[in-house]
Amino acid sequence: MNRLTMSSFAIFLSIGMWSCQQSSTSNKEKTQELVSLPDSVQFRDTIKGEEVSLYTLRNKNGMEVALTNFGARIVSLLVHDKDGVCRDVVLGFSKAADYHNPTEKYFGPVVGPFGNRIANGKFSLDGVEYTLPVNNGPNTLHGGLDGLHFQVWEARYLSDKAVEFTCSLSDGQEGFPGNRAIKVVYSLSDDDELIIDYEGKTDKKTVLNLTNHAYFNLNGEGSGTILNHQLQIFADKFTPVDSTLIPTGELRDVKGSAFDFTILKEIGRDIEQDDEQLKFGKGYDHNFVLNGTKHEAYNYACQLVGDQSGIVMDVYTEEPGVQFYSGNFMSDKVTLKNGATDSFRTGLCLETQHFPDSPNQPSFPSTEVAPGQLYKTKTIYKFSTK
């Protein structure tokens, strides 16, 4: 793996930590504890016989992200709030080994080769049926037991603001066809955007649906519930599910329902409604059909606002949908970077994606990728304050 020299990396990391701590020190009466990125030496480990490390990016405004090649995942994301206080808005762990955890696998990784659910662990391509490991009730979730989230990726810095992760999946791995080459590039812009570029190639017809599974809390990791965050989703319809969270195939209007996020509203406002869909998901765990609202060339997926921090996260994507998960299964099972636990609904996910179970739903946008075809998609998380 290509890396920055250790001396330049250490200087780079120390500058980033100083930036956030300096900002917090000037606002002591308004801040929690000072936040910084995890220690790169303490983080390092060997998983599956391969070295796992921390990779750090920083832009000119002092926004920083820490990533790891285990699962190509986001470990920390440091953003300044409305008062200039630095907050870590992504939940995660301080050591690589803590991510190799079969109980809580999905803190921050790229998930795939097929993000979200496939019904009954089966799908067909050109008349050939493929059987996948079942790991979520009767269904396959996020690529199976040993999906991209549990792979040790190759990593290299492209610059001080971009890092590339690459991973190969063999034909038949976790039941999916094709020898596949996957590439994900994370970059920071000086406009405070975290940009994720995904690419994939295959030598046999397959399905691909890649996304990131970061848990966000815009008030900061360990700061409490996300129910008072405000959320707007640029979607007029969502895909209702059965009791195992597989879409029924219907595209249902959100208007007048608990799923209406067409204007900013508190996440907790309608979450306890007597609604069958909310009961199935134990809250929100549903795909929203983006309505074509544009930001430049991208679909404007959603806007999230931290109620205490004033941090705003706008999500733009080339994908047709976004899965909103309100942290319904978080239950104090693991300890996070700052010593807090993953308490009920203290984080949320906004996963840009093609729709769940698309390989079994011919009316949904296709996720098929053929040899010679490049799978390519981009999602942007832009941060500001209000």
**Catalytic residue of the set 213, 229, 286, 354:** 213
Burial of 106 (0-12, 13-18, 19+ CB in 10 A): buried
Provide CB contacts within 8 A for 366, sequence distance 6+. Answer: 354, 358
The size of the chain, in residues, is 386
Q: What is the pLDDT of residues 117-130, one digit of tens each?
A: 999 999 999 999 99
Active-site residue flag, 351: yes
Q: What is the pLDDT of residues 160-172, one digit of tens each?
A: 999 999 999 999 9
Provide CB contacts within 8 A for 102, sequence distance 6+. Answer: none
What does the pLDDT average to over 234-245?
98
Active-site residue flag, 213: yes
Domain 6-113+144-207, CATH 2.70.98.10 — does that match? yes
How far is it, in rounded angstroms, from Cα 279 to Cα 272?
Answer: 9
Reduced to 3 states, what is the DSSP secondary structure of residue 165?
Answer: strand
Q: What is the pLDDT of residues 269-288, one digit of tens each?
A: 999 999 999 999 999 999 99
Q: Where in the chain is the domain with CATH 2.70.98.10?
A: 6-113+144-207, 230-376
**Catalytic residue of the set 221, 229, 351, 354:** 351
What pTM value is reported for the model? 0.93
What does the pLDDT average to over 358-367?
98
Q: At the topology level of CATH, where does 230-376 sit? A: Beta-galactosidase; Chain A, domain 5 (2.70.98)
